[in-house]
Structure 1
Amino acid sequence: MSDKTSILIVDDNPNNLQVLGHLLKQENFSVAVSQDGQQALDYIAKKHPDIVLLDVMMPGMDGIEVCERIKANERSRQIPVLFITALSDSEDKMRGFRAGGHDYITKPFLKEEVLARVRAVVDRLQVEAELRKSRKALKEINENLEQKVVERTENLRKLQLQLVLQEKMASIGQLAAGLAHELNNPINFVYTNFTTLEENINDFFHIFVGYRRLIEKQDLAGGDLADLELLHEDEKRAHVDFVLGDIEALFAESREGFKRITWIITSLGNFSRSEQAEEKTTSDLNRAIEDTLVITRNEYKYHCEVETELGNIEPLICIPQQINEVLVNLVVNAAHAIKGQKRASKGKIQIKTYMQDTTVCCEIQDDGPGVPDGIKMRIFEPFFTTKDVGKGTGLGLSISYDIIVNKHSGDFVVQDAEGGGTIFIIRIPLLQQELIGKTYKRSGGTVCKI
């Protein structure tokens, strides 16, 4: 309702219109007049006045019918109607109340009565307006509160899942460190024994060859042929010639196996370094990629071939465990995408690193199904996943984005690969803004200041 209350006076008597109109205008009300019921209804439909003063007795459509039509209309039923009636017309007053009237003004008009009854309605309208305003404000507060509760609950859910993932990564790191430690000792003494055995076998090999030459000379000299024949038969049963030829290959393969085990243990140790979770230090991204491929090999070895093109790049100032987490997510996601195609031949994952001015770049490309354009803008959203229910939390790429963009001041983008598939591109500046003036640890343990 506006500051100036609008009142429509409906009466077929011009004198009544003039008297009431003059009286109300003196009190700063906005006044409009109408001399018949239909004209009044048309005005109400267009202007929607705050109050209607309505004469009961009018030719054609009387005041009772006009009131009933006002109250039957959804848009106008809330408008208060004050009937104008003679002091003795009790029946008219009752009919007016039954039709929906709020009050009445009696004729002949008394100024004090007219103003008192109109002001009472105005006060009521103001109270109702304030009540509506309060209800609206309360509704908005409740909606905002509900929204905040929903947002808070969602944030807590995200935080909880992130903590679970961090705990899992920490547990994996601890497990890897423990596994590397437990394997290292037995591998060392097995390798030592293997080396000693190899030396002993080589000595035996040379001695055995010498014996065979001596026996051959004895055979030619005409010695005890029966015993020599038995010895030859034993050699045949033992496949001595094959064994002698295969010994070198067996030891060569065993040496490669030990190298492989040593490399895995080293990678496990690198992957589970015990720096503080949020502490930045220098790190070799190429080595991190190599370690990641060792750790995740079981995820891709049956479905993908991995090609690497690791360039000559500068050491990164980063949180190594977090960078490892990003690399693991991307390699495993690529492997799962290719696996999901159930193709007859193996897919391919290509990993490339290079410098771009003062920025270290890493591209991880696969020839899987790719990311549809319709969801490309959503893949970094928390909990968004295209995997089947129970096979992914939808947090991997979201957390990776947070690590690269927010925690390392970098860029993390996804592109379509030429010929099909997906390319994830990581760019991390060597000089991150938040590191200026701060100290960090070199991988060797020394502390430096930028």
Structure 2
Amino acid sequence: MINPRQTEKKTILVVEDSPTQAEIVRRILSREGYEILLAKNGMEGLEAAQKHRPDLVVGDIDMPFMDGYRMCYEIKTDDNLQEIPVLLLTKLGDSEDILRGLASRADWYLTKPFNKEYFVRKIKDLLQSNGKSSRALPSSFTQKFQLPSNQAEFQRILTILLSTYENAFHINQDLILTQKQLELLNKNLDDKVTERTAQLEKAQKQLIASEKLAGIGTLSASICHEIKNPLNIISIHVQLLLRKFESEPEMFDPLTKIQVEMRRIEKILNQLMSFVRTAEPDPRFLAINHELEETLGLMRKDLISSNIEIENNFCADLPKVLADPDELRQVFFNLLINARYSMKNGGRLTVTTERVTKNQQYSARISLSDTGCGIGPEHLAKIFQPFFTTKPEGEGTGMGLYVCKNIIEKYGGSLIVQSGEAKGTTFIIDLPQTHS
């Protein structure tokens, strides 16, 4: 049964054959102020999308008459519906699931059972990014040389890889927290042995599921390699065509654009492979001031040559934090690169550390402030989203700040930004104190 739509609210179509699951999703989204339409299978969901044109579709995979993959594909190949974001609730447990996910062209994938806050955040992200377009070359040109007309295919592959890894990341964080809670309970065993044993058995089942998810990172890296192989072949042919049509601007210029975009895709793939690396991090008790000084040492000459003054205000009794030094320096390095980019005509970079109290716990706060061009209010809410960048085409991938935020949150911290157009930018990192 389809619920009536109220035009003053964002409308979300929920396609779910399980009445219980449909009611859970409906309640979560209704509390966020969305108008909800309900459909019981993929066929009914497609008809509802054609009739009501919702702002977003949330669909299950396993449904009668028409599954979620097929429904999503039909929506994405319909000229009147293809701009509607689609989020699929899926298992993504093996390579077959991932290949079907790629073919369906969904905008994001979420594993069940899902974290409510993460689910709501993804819904908001998808609604905000609605209407994005891809740049395409003339169809006659791409048909003549059998080259991709835009980056949509690569972007879809990167999206499923990123959503797969991010789902695993959030689930693993919950499992790690559960494991630590169980270890604490085991140290204080009392009369609730039976109840706690049951909790342990449940956690063991979750950890088995976690091992399966851990393999997704390896699979993601493998798929990245598979993408790079045909990309290299295309690159070689483009170089040959550039030589052939060097004296014909009408052919040479589009070929040059293809070459620039292919280099950008390769850069995105390299960053994604780094993001899903299977190497285990090596967390240690770190002195933040030392890590900042090491990173600034690498950047100092470059900053000074760009007419940027550096001011350090370091707190002497800063609490130590537990983190991987390479990952932490990667965060500092990315933020320093952004600061330098925003001060093309020179300026001042102020790096400050201080001891603060958050949630009745000491934290180390790192602030990096520049006097650059700043970030407009229309961009502030999006800068931590993957693939979002304000830099000119070819100069940024939109992955740097997304990776930084994930690294900081992995160690229980937070990364926020304060900025205004022509008022400079300040990035603030808070990392909780860890006792050795």
Q: Tell me the TM-score normalized by structure 2.
A: 0.40
Higher Rg: 1
Superposition TM-score, scaled by structure 1 size: 0.38
